[in-house]
Structure 1
Amino acid sequence: MSAARSFPNWVMLECFIFRRDDDKTFPDDEKVTIRASGLTSRKKPFDVAFCLAEPPGIFPLYVPLPGFPGPDKVLPFGIVATHRHLVLFRLTSTVDESHEIIDVQDLFIYDASAISSSQPQFKVLPPCTELYNYGPRIHHRPPQDTTKRRVLMVRSMGLLCRDEEEFAVAELKLYRFSAVEVQAQLYVLRSCASTGPRGIHGSWHTMRLPIHVHGNPRDMYQLYSWNTDTVIPFDNQLCWIDYF
């Protein structure tokens, strides 16, 4: 990690990640303002380079990912959400598990306020093993494996930071129970006050909330085809938005 210059109070992140597996195409130390590293849940190392740009300039990110899946198979690295000094990243790696090649999704929190610290800035989140509940008949189905990690829908995820140490990550799913009833199911991870050197302590839990529709009955119909386009933190709340 290097931090040779002073940092502005806010920056504009480039929405695309620049993958540079070849050292010749990777930015040199004169252009790179911050270098940070992390480990996946399978102890696979990775590095990220940030090039500082004062607003309205764009703050690009460069990532060397040799050994990770190619872009023709999956987009291995991406920004999921940001709020205040925290950034939520997603990294997908390919592993051989029980003679089967699978893609493993890891989520990381990057803490920009820890630039001057010796602690790693990337900390991996615990995997989510909460099952999707697809309707009121879930209790009549055979028992399922609740220890198997599942892939989270990053487009429907948000990040909410309340102070320097406390934050929450949430994924939203909507379920139609009847012609007049739609419920929201939230999968939430709240950070603990104490975290490990490379990981976040805590566990995912599920919250089911009713959605009350008043006035236009077509509002309920619109919920049937809900598709999250973006998630925006506002004060101490997360707002899920469908533009259509």
Structure 2
Amino acid sequence: MATGGAPKPEEETVVFPDWVMLECIFRKRCHDDLDAAGEAVNKNKTAAPVKIDSDHSCFVSFTLAAPPWSSYFNLHWSERQGSEGLLAFVRAIDKNLVLFDISIPDRIRYMDAPLDLFVYTASAPSPSVQQLPWCSTKWFLAHEFTTGILQLKAEHCYIIADLNVHLKKKGVSAELCIFNSGANEWRIITKVLADKLLDLWWTDDVFAFDGRFFCWVDYFSGVVLCDFSKNVDSPVLHFVPFPGGIKYPDDARFPRYFPGRFRSVSISQGIIRYIHIDNDFHETIHSGWQGIPPKRSKRRQKQLTHKITIWTLNSKFEWEFPVISMDDPGVLCCLLRAKEFDGKEWMIMVDMNHADLQSCTDVNVEDKFSNTTQLPTVFSKYLQKENRILKELLS
């Protein structure tokens, strides 16, 4: 005779992609109230509650898909709190950490009001969200693409850093705003040693590398690296130019025209990879130097030891927002458009070394591409149920 209660059904196993391409701009999911929002994400393994203040709470979740599909950051919001003008943005990702901000219009009374910043920690069985203390300065954290997050090798320890570069009478100076999770406070370092920073430096992107480096990217010049494994109180910036020695004129560097459409820097198989779709867009758009190729520095080219691979593309379509596969540096994911900023859109994955189209998917109307840089990340792995996977990834 059987004894005891009925056996509990096994929890459904959810398998997430090994890596994803996450769009930075959020998707707003409105619900009647907070209880309805919680019910909607009740069985979502990526969901976590967020308490902003005594009057505002919500849930966050992620819609994850294997590349070349894009993945999305969702904000589940109660209509009773008012949703008009609500904004959220994913700023940076490293390993199992996602840094994002939420902007609520009725809480911003003045232009210099500090943003609400949060850190999402992907873990199984339940991810979590931590709200960061306010940083009361108008000079930092105002631009989404300049703030990065670095997961340190010590468990549950991370650093957030924002870079501010500005021109002075005697050259260029740099400042850093740093949050250390161990101290749980922001610090501003006004005197940062920096070498070879350009006068018109502009940060287009930032990412973490090897558990120790912050890498700020200017797509017209190169990468600024800062090693945080050494003295955090006295950081030093080192500039590494992009291969090829191209020098863009000032009237291309200053207006920008979103260079991230055709360039990206990311990590694949533990190596930093730079890709440039050389379609002459930034060489021909400006009337002041139309048709004049950018200058190339022979001296700089001789000093470079980078390996440069050239893929030749013959296509009548626009290739934009390139992302190198995190598993294979020879595989390229990107957006394909019939016309510039118009027409039908596809997300494609191509083995460039063998000219093999591995995948092609339509971009539907609901998830229309947001024209922002996508973040390649492996944080989806940390949501797996097995603890051994988490330990392996953190080691």
Q: TM-score, normalised by structure 2?
A: 0.44
Unaligned runs of 5+ residues in structure 2 are 1-10, 221-395
Cα shift at 1:131: 6.5
Contact 1:187–1:205 (CA under 8 A) maintained in structure 2: yes
CA distance in 2: counterparts of 1:34 and 1:3, whole angstroms: 14
Other structure's SS at 1:82 match: strand
Pair 1:124-2:114 in alignment: no
Rg larger for: 2
Question: What residue number does 1:216 align with?
Answer: none
Alignment equivalent of 1:160, drawn from 140, 143, 150: 150
Alignment equivalent of 1:105, drawn from 115, 126, 147: 115
Cα 1:55–1:151, aligned 2, differ >3 Å: closer, same or farther?
A: closer
Q: Give the partner amino acid of 1:206.
A: I
Contact 2:26–2:87 (CA under 8 A) maintained in structure 1: no
CA distance in 2: counterparts of 1:3 and 1:191, whole angstroms: 34
Alignment equivalent of 1:239, drawn from 198, 212, 215: 215
Contact 1:93–1:104 (CA under 8 A) maintained in structure 2: no
CA distance in 1: counterparts of 2:215 and 2:15, whole angstroms: 33
Other structure's SS at 2:145 match: helix
Cα shift at 1:41: 4.5
Q: Give the partner amino acid of 1:21.
A: C
Pair 1:206-2:206 in alignment: no
Q: Give the partner amino acid of 1:191.
A: S
Question: What residue number does 2:102 align with?
Answer: 91
What is the RMSD computed on CA atoms of the aligned residues?
3.2
Pair 1:78-2:89 in alignment: yes
CA distance in 2: counterparts of 1:20 and 1:162, whole angstroms: 33
Q: Give the partner amino acid of 1:14.
A: E
Contact 2:89–2:144 (CA under 8 A) maintained in structure 1: no
CA distance in 2: counterparts of 1:224 and 1:70, whole angstroms: 40
Cα shift at 1:9: 4.0
Higher relative contact order (CA 8 A, sep 6+): 2
Cα shift at 1:212: 2.4
Q: Give the partner amino acid of 1:129.
A: S
Cα 1:42–1:127, aligned 2, differ >3 Å: closer, same or farther?
A: farther
Question: What residue number does 1:177 align with?
Answer: 168
Q: TM-score, normalised by structure 1?
A: 0.68
Unaligned runs of 5+ residues in structure 1 are 133-149, 193-200, 214-219
Contact 2:141–2:147 (CA under 8 A) maintained in structure 1: no
Cα shift at 1:29: 5.9
Question: What residue number does 1:143 align with?
Answer: none
CA distance in 2: counterparts of 1:78 and 1:240, whole angstroms: 18
Q: Which moved more, 1:11-20 or 1:230-239?
A: 11-20
